[in-house]
A and B are shown apart, each in its own frame.
Chain A
Amino acid sequence: MIEMILDAAQMLIRLDVILIIAAGLTLGMLVGALPGFTTVMAMAIVLPISFFMDPILGIPFLIGVYKGGIFGGSIPAILVNIPGTGASVATTLDGPAMTRNGQSRKALEIALIASAVGDFLSSFGTILVIGIIAMVALMIGPPEISAILILSLLIIVVSSSGVFAKGFLMLLIGMFLAMIGQDPIGAMPRFDFGFHPLQAGIDLLPLIIGLFAIPEILLAIERRKSNVVDARQMRPEGERLTWAEIMSCRRTILRSTALGGVIGVIPGVGQVVAAFMGYSAAKNASATPERFGKGEINGVAAPEAANNAVNGPTMVPLLTLGIPGDNITAIMLGAFVAQGLRPGPQLFQDQGVLLYAILLSMLVACVLLLVIGYLLIPLFARVVGINKAYLVPMMLLFAVAGTYVYRSNPMDLYFMIAFGIFGYGCRKLHFDVTPLVMGFILAAPLEYAIGQTVLLSRGDLAGYLVSSRPITVTVLVLMPILIFWIARRQRRQNRHVEAAGR
């Protein structure tokens, strides 16, 4: 295997390979930074270009677009509080606060480093233990997904800031909103009040753009200041990240990477869950949890490292079994087969060197992401220095255009505006909308997985879980203990803060 990896490395060290990955990263980052444009769209559009390239160029190009796009999604989340995808929702907990404190550049830089390190380590680990991950991935079915999703919902509720009842209420509203449309198992329309557009359900993008961007725009108008950041500063993007600050996030990044790597075996929602788990874990472990939510640098590093650490394991079912777990890996599969490479056990024997070269290109892409991100960040960071008279209308334009361009459905615009007004009310009444978004994102897969589990159990749910689902039973047994432990720590920390306040 070592020999194969060395041969693969030789294949990769070529100027054109490096340049094409860099081009992919830049493209992905720019597209990802625009609200409404998803990484999947960018990849689908460039896919035909890769058909006509050599495999060692075409597939790393797509990997570049993929990794660039994921990081790009964090840029508007940090700068203007508009998360482009579910994966960057957790980044809005501390990212925009850092921007308001005049630290936008610092926030983007720590996000970049956390993303690249998390991704690099998880890809590296994946290459080493790809066989083991492939085996574990096969053990994750609907019952395990249900258990893990229930656990993450509970963690989100107990670790959300502010009043518990408020967070819980928002979570329930989010879960209810996700149920509008067709039920996932029987495809029966529900809660649509006989109104056809509601039958398609509410999409995530109008919901998050509405809840995050519109209140941000309205509040910016209210503040009656000419700049989002205080204009008296010479450099509105603020100072750069220091080495000491990177080192202070070291533990957070490693912890999030480990969490993300484990959660990465869950297809589909892995990134969203990982980002929140990473954030909660960092807050729990911190000596100063009260700083989270107010612009804590660890609060940006934690979700960013975690959601990127998911990337390595997600590729495993694709490479070892030829099974795409989500849309991104489905496009990768298309790129592979169009090159005449059919991923699966056979491919590792026939084309081992090429396959390792592709795996190694994931590592190269992480390193290049650091370089390109470092060069582009000053450009992005300067956005917040734009005079508010221009910036606010631009944000509104991006919010509206981003919502519409996603799937050209005018209904989405009405939803976006309705959620915008709702989100504004929530901000004024100090309701955190994050549990709502999480409930919305996780409810549909949870309901689906539970429905599948019940069907698989054929009426004897307990018997089925005990007899053939050891992982599910373990998670379910450990769940109350873990939740109790987190809740107790949380309460003790709150008491500390109160005591310090007095």
Chain B
Amino acid sequence: MKNIKATVIGAIAALGLGAGAATAEDFPNRPITMIIPLGAGGSHDLNARVITSVLPGILGQPVVVQLMPGAGGQTGTAAAAQAQPDGYTLLFTHNFIDQLQQHVTNLPYDPNEDFEAVARVNTAQPILVVREDSPFETFEDLVAYGQENPGDLTFGHSGNWGAFMVPGLALLNEVGVDANLVPYQGGGPVIQALLAGDLDFTFAFPSVLAGQPLRPLLVVGEEEILDGIPTTAQLGYEVVTDIGVMHRSVLAPAGVPEDRMQILRDAFAGLNDDGTYNALMGRLGENTLHVDGPEYDAMRRNQAQRYQELVASF
């Protein structure tokens, strides 16, 4: 029923955008399923709703979102790994589920053997934040205090080995600060806890920051997205710059025929030329920094290596 509904909506979207021309060897000729190994309402769900309302216009077929949450993303990823490699099942995931979990738990699949990247869709750069009335004016203040008082800073994150714990842990390692880590269930509760005064610092994505009584101290990654706030790249924190950014990516089970893979990769590259896609992503506060599949596969192998080192250090 859910699928039917999504299909109908997808079909309406496809009609509305002028159904794309049928491709040479008739792929795709039926709806494509995109598994999300996360729950409804999260940032992946929202991103996917934008993607699936635009992609049918390029592929000429509806794209159906299938949410399969469970076990920190393993349930959905395992299902995608077992799917037929015919190009009709894709996985919309992120680097922490994709490449980190193999180092912290036993997986029923091998992320690098069982999957190939279609595209990296976009990135989300975490921003280290404190309360507006915090005594820490700069990132140096925070580090200096943390070094003098080991274990005294409380760092709240959005869940184990998730989008905020990983950059936090990598950063704490690099500056040599020992903090008290407290997990929360998602990015919303952790900001609420920071505002309530239960935490000293946490991270937030840019879309959360506006209008809040928060003070950003440091941006993870290379892009300078906030005026006057240093990035980890500028401060020379190489590891966290490399692995602390969330990459939202679309993967396919390994073994999809080359020509079909190319159609899919071109379709995702084509999203960036679509005005509606760019406008909607912009409104959600997301970037559209697309990277093509083969290039992202190389990045994934690098991530795997770095995560192994990070987990070993914890």
Contact = CB atoms under 8 A, between A and B. Distances in A.
Interface string B1-32: 11101100100010000000000000000000
Interface in A313-363: 317, 321-331, 334, 337-340, 342, 344-347
Contact of B208 (A182, A322, A331): A322
B283 A48 contact: no
A199 B74 contact: yes
A42 to B, nearest CB: 8
Given A49-B9, A323-B188, A324-B188, A141 B198 contact: yes
Given A199-B71, A346-B210, A340 B283 contact: yes
Interface in B193-211: 193, 195-196, 198, 207-208, 210-211
A323 B210 CA distance: 12
B188 A330 contact: yes
Contacts of A138: 192, 195-196
A44 B40 contact: yes
Interface in B29-74: 39-42, 45-46, 49-50, 52-53, 65-72, 74
A34 B180 contact: no
Interface string A178-203: 00011011110100000010011101
Nearest to B193: A141
A140 to B, nearest CB: 8
Interface stretch (A93-101, A155-163, A387-395, A452-460): A452-460
Contact of B183 (A46, A407, A409, A452): A452
Given A48-B9, A321-B192, A344 B1 contact: no
Contacts of A295: none
B299 interface: no
A422 interface: no
B108 interface: yes
Contacts of B183: 184-185, 451-452, 455
Contacts of B5: 45
A403 B183 CA distance: 30
A331 B70 contact: no
A51 interface: yes
Interface residues of B, number: 62
A323 B192 contact: yes
A37 B188 contact: no
Interface in A401-455: 401, 405, 407-409, 448, 451-452, 455
B139 interface: no
Contacts of B65: 44
B212 A44 contact: no
B108 to A, nearest CB: 5
A48 to B, nearest CB: 4
A405 B1 contact: yes
A43 B45 CA distance: 11
A456 B190 CA distance: 13
Given A138-B192, A322-B211, A327-B41, A409 B70 contact: yes
Interface string B276-293: 000010011100000000
A152 B195 CA distance: 27
A139 interface: yes
A298 interface: no
Interface string B63-97: 00111111110110011000000000000000000
B313 interface: no
Contacts of A448: 185
Contacts of B226: none
Contacts of A186: 160
A448 B74 CA distance: 20
Contact of B212 (A43, A49, A321, A451): A321
A116 interface: no
B42 A455 contact: no
Given A139-B196, A407-B67, A45 B6 contact: yes
A138 B46 CA distance: 26
Interface string A203-236: 1000000000000000000000000000000000
Interface in B169-201: 180-186, 188-189, 191-193, 195-196, 198
A187 B72 CA distance: 9
Interface of B: 1-3, 5-6, 9, 13, 39-42, 45-46, 49-50, 52-53, 65-72, 74-75, 78-79, 104-106, 108, 151, 154, 160-161, 180-186, 188-189, 191-193, 195-196, 198, 207-208, 210-213, 280, 283-285
Given A44-B67, A325-B188, A345-B211, 15 more contacts: A44-B65, A182-B71, A186-B160, A200-B70, A200-B74, A201-B70, A321-B195, A323-B208, A328-B41, A334-B284, A401-B1, A405-B1, A452-B182, A455-B181, A456-B182
| Minimum-distance CB pairs A-B, first 3 | A327-B41, A344-B211, A200-B71
Interface of A: 34, 37-38, 40-41, 43-49, 51, 137-139, 141-142, 181-182, 184-187, 189, 196, 199-201, 203, 267-268, 317, 321-331, 334, 337-340, 342, 344-347, 401, 405, 407-409, 448, 451-452, 455-456, 458
